[in-house]
Amino acid sequence: MAIIVHKYGGTSVGTPEKIKNVARRVKQVREGGDDVVVIVSAMGHTTDELIDLMNKVTDYPDPREYDMLVSTGEQVSAALLAMALQAMGCPAISLTGGQAGVVTEDIYKKARIKHIHLDRVKAEIKQGRAVVITGFQGIDSKGDIITIGRGGSDTSAVAIAAALQAKVCDIYTDVDGVYTTDPRIVSDARKLEHISYEEMLELASLGAQVLHPRSVECASLYDIVIHLRSSTKDIPGTLIMSAKAIAKQGGSKMEKKEAVRGIALDENIAKVGILKVPDKPGIAAKLFGALASESINVDMIVQSIHSKGAMADMAFTVDKPDLKKAVQAVEKVAKELKAEGTLSDADVCKVSLVGIGMVSQPGTAAKMFDSLSREKINIQMISTSEIKVSCVIKKEQGKKAVQILHKAFGLA
């Protein structure tokens, strides 16, 4: 008798009928003799509807009240799922993040989970109940409701799976696995049987929006296998696990040993720059310190030295919704540092190649730049790591770039 953790996203619980479908699936697992803990997101567009209401009463929502507001979405779906299970004769109980013992940092909207006290969850399991927990939220030390960022239900699920020492966390969603790239962009994109945490992490944080990157990070930390699968079709999805475990299973033999395993497109970024700053120590610290204190996540950073004089340009990318705040912060710093100016551009996107094999196959980046230049796609920023190469290009050329690269690297 094992503990199975399921997570269902907003689309999977979008209507009462879909909630009943989920209940049937959960009941099946219970009948198979295993214990089940289910983490749910808010129904369909509930969160967006709540945010619409919010925008009608304020232009500057307080993060604490934001969390208070949107956390109700998961509470509704958790209660409904528990009731649907009970209606099918399966004992069940719903718990808020706080009731389930999910304790977070005291940071509204973007907190990380600090620890999970599972006493209540374990007691309910012992009573023979399926436990339904609201994803995306916990409480802080003051007892305030804290959300862990949008898409954070995946992270809740993995963290709870880890705390429960479950081996696998089944994440049910409206896609049936991880593909070499977005099938809506490239029609012959291929579903991957396995993918390593590291690769998935890059793909997820690069905009393959099937799984929240923090959930993958958390899974790799505690060695939880994530099974990303369809909530409607009963077919295997993609297993996200350690590269070592994949190799053991012969997974890397079973698939082609390609350097590039996936291509991601992120259209939700914006570029910000600070121009001609006197180049002296402490500038980067000052700039990115200012951004960090506003809780703005900075992704790619490129610094270039002007040839004449010790002046530097610095450019970086942020999530598009953070652009306004980022520009304000940068303008303030630019004034202090006596920089010549700033720039911002929301009309960009990021295309990335990801694959653990890239580290042993030099030339991947060169091939990428070549493929793009042949199609007259201008590269604005480049960033590389051991397992990925990313290029910022014009937004309108993003999809085309993905198609070209998917073909060039033989992923079909």
Question: How far is Cα of residue 348 from the mean position of the Cα atoms in its chain?
Answer: 20
Nearest by Cα to 186 from 155, 208, 168, 205: 208
Nearer residue to its own copies within complex by CB, 107 or 311 = 107
Query: Binding to its own copies (CB under 8 A): which residues in 278-297?
Result: none
Nearer residue to its own copies within complex by CB, 37 or 312 = 37
Residue type (1 letter), 191: K
First to last CA, the chain: 40
Asked if 143 touches its own copies (CB under 8 A), the answer is yes
Type and span of the H or E element at 373? helix 364-374
Q: Which of 51, 86, 298, 379 binds its own copies (CB under 8 A)?
A: 86
Asked if 103 touches its own copies (CB under 8 A), the answer is no
Nearer residue to its own copies within complex by CB, 139 or 358 = 139
Asked if 75 touches its own copies (CB under 8 A), the answer is yes
376 vs 311, 346, 350, 395, 399, CA distance in Å?
A: 30, 21, 16, 14, 14
Q: Which of 66, 222, 288, 369 binds its own copies (CB under 8 A)?
A: 66
Nearer residue to its own copies within complex by CB, 108 or 179 = 108
Nearer residue to its own copies within complex by CB, 80 or 111 = 80
Torsion, Cα of 114, 217, 19, 98 (10° steps): 0
Find out whether 312 and 282 touch, Cβ atoms under 8 Å: no
Find out whether 248 and 401 touch, Cβ atoms under 8 Å: no
Q: Which of 29, 80, 206, 208 binds its own copies (CB under 8 A)?
A: 80
Query: Binding to its own copies (CB under 8 A): which residues in 120-139?
Result: 120
Scanning 26-34, 46-54, 343-351, 371-379 for contacts with its own copies by CB under 8 A, the matching segment is 46-54
Place of tokens 């690269």: 405
Query: Binding to its own copies (CB under 8 A): which residues in 10-29?
Result: 16-17, 19-20, 23
Give the Cα separation of 396 and 406 in Å (integer).
17
In the complex, the smallest distance separating the C-beta of residue 96 from its own copies, rounded to whole angstroms, is: 8
Nearer residue to its own copies within complex by CB, 91 or 363 = 91
The DSSP code for 191 is: B
Asked if 94 touches its own copies (CB under 8 A), the answer is yes
Type and span of the H or E element at 301? strand 298-305
Q: Which residues bind its own copies (CB under 8 A)?
A: 16-17, 19-20, 23, 50, 53-54, 56-62, 64-66, 68-69, 71-72, 75-76, 78-84, 86-87, 93-94, 96, 98-99, 120, 143-145
